[in-house]
């Protein structure tokens, strides 16, 4: 067992249920194709990271993805609760550093994730900020449940609200580079996978 754990949060790839904001512009079929590609990118990237992996699906475990890795179904009323539960389980298993990523990042790379683990050598928490005001990566070396409680999930002020609370609690953190996750047609248009789904 590694002392580092990478948690990957994945939505089940169901037509009409993924990338719904994007689907309003490009339609359900293209939104489905976009998310399928993003999940493939995430899977390939995570394979190159030297850490144990826990993969959390939104609704049902898909055995054809992340073969040989431990897979679970997300548990909780909202995203914060689901992430908090995943971290909680990880620390109970004895991991020293735990990093969680989503699965809608065309530019995620093993190097970025490794930097997340490295940042935990000096800070308590690490974030990868997203251009939409949220974050695509969060890592910790012990549980800080307050960062997941009473937060404006899927709102553009999520990251700022979280940082303010970290300041109040006097918890040290570091930041990785900002990346763009794909939620809208504008996000898709400026991404490297745009030409694949025209």
Helix ranges (H only) for 103-189 are 110-119, 158-169, 185-189
16 three-state secondary structure: coil
Average pLDDT over residues 152-169: 90
Question: Distance between alpha carbon 177 and the CA centroid of its chain, in Å?
Answer: 14
pLDDT value of position 8? 98
Q: Which residue carries 């999930």 as its tokens?
A: 153
Q: How far apart (Å, rounded) are the C-alpha atoms in residues 148 and 81? A: 7
Which range, of 9-13, 92-96, 121-125, 192-196, averages the lowest pLDDT?
Answer: 192-196
Nearest to 179 by CA among 138, 132, 140: 132
Beta strands in 40-155 (DSSP E): 52-57, 70-73, 97-101, 125-129, 135-140
pLDDT tier for residue 191 given thresholds of 50, 70 and 90: confident
Q: How far apart (Å, rounded) are the C-alpha atoms in residues 146 and 171? A: 11
Average pLDDT over residues 77-102: 97
| Percent residues over pLDDT 90 in the chain | 71
List CB contacts of 84: < 8 A, sequence separation 6 or more: 76, 145, 148, 149
pLDDT above 90 for 21: no
Q: Which two tokens stand for residue 183?
A: 């939620």
pLDDT tier for residue 148 given thresholds of 50, 70 and 90: very high
Contact by Cβ (8 Å): 106, 36: no
Question: Which domains, ranges and CATH numbers included, belong to the chain?
Answer: 4-196 (3.90.550.10)
Q: Which two tokens stand for residue 26?
A: 């490009």
Q: At what angle do helices 110-119 and 28-47 cross, to 10 degrees?
A: 60
Nearest to 137 by CA among 158, 116, 167: 116
Residue 57 bridge partners (DSSP): 10, 73
**What confidence tens digit (pLDDT) does each residue in 39-56 have?**
999 999 999 999 999 999
pLDDT tier for residue 114 given thresholds of 50, 70 and 90: very high
What does pTM read for this prediction? 0.94
Q: How far apart (Å, rounded) are the C-alpha atoms in residues 53 and 198? A: 33
């Amino acid at each position: 067992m590694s002392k580092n754990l990478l948690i990957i949060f994945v939505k089940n790839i169901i037509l009409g249920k993924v990338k719904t904001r994007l689907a309003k512009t490009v339609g359900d079929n293209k939104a489905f194709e976009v998310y399928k590609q993003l999940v493939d990118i995430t899977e390939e990237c995570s394979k190159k990271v030297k850490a144990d992996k826990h993969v959390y699906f939104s609704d049902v475990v898909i055995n054809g993805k992340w073969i040989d890795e431990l897979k679970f179904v997300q548990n909780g009323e909202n995203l914060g609760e689901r992430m908090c539960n995943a971290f909680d389980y990880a620390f109970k298993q004895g991991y020293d550093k735990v990093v969680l990523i989503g699965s809608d990042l065309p530019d995620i790379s093993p190097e970025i994730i490794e930097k997340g683990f490295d940042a935990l050598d000096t800070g308590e928490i690490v974030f990868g900020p997203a251009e939409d005001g949220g974050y695509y990566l969060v890592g910790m070396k012990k549980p800080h449940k307050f960062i997941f409680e009473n937060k404006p999930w899927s709102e553009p002020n999520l990251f700022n609200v979280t940082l303010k609370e970290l300041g109040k609690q006097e918890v040290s953190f570091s930041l990785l580079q900002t990346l763009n996750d794909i939620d809208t047609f504008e996000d898709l248009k400026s991404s490297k996978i745009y030409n694949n789904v025209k």
